[in-house]
Amino acid sequence: MASITDAYDGYYARKYDQITPEGKFLDPLADKILVSSAFISFALMGIIEPWMVILIIFRDLFVTGLRMAMERKGLSLVTSTIAKAKTATQMGIICFILIVLGLKGISLAWAKPMLEIIREYRLVYNLTLGVTIFTMITGITYIYANKQAIQDFLEKE
């Protein structure tokens, strides 16, 4: 529900030209808190691997920290469409895991074959691995796309 309301919030803010500096800062921060807390919870429950969570959170903290440091110097980073796709895939795997947990909890006869397929093909692990790799790729792409701004930032030090 949080990811759906977040998407509508962003859509309406752009549609009605209600974008604010505070919103530009708080919206991605809220996304990171939502994603990080869900992934940490799943790792603590033994559902996903902790190393995946560490990589995902490291990437998000690194990019957020870099953005904040650069903005203090009057520079900005360009957010790409791929970064939005990264957030969407992260929200997608979180929803998938929550659905799997819900199906396990209700133990209906029609859900058992689906759960067996999910277990047999290690779908939670494999999809989370894909999201982790994609997250790291977006971090590298982010740095590459903003390399001139980052160089300007480093020269201002």
N-term to C-term CA, the chain: 42
- Which residue numbers in the chain have pLDDT < 50? none
Q: Is 62 helix (H, G, I), strand (E, B) or coil?
A: helix
Distance CA 40, CA 146 (A): 29
pLDDT, position 52:
98
Q: Model-level pTM? A: 0.88
**How many domains in the chain?**
1
CA 150, 152, 155, 157 torsion-angle sign: negative
Distance CA 55, CA 43 (A): 12
Range of the domain at 62: 2-156
Residue 25: CB atoms within 10 A of its CB come to 14
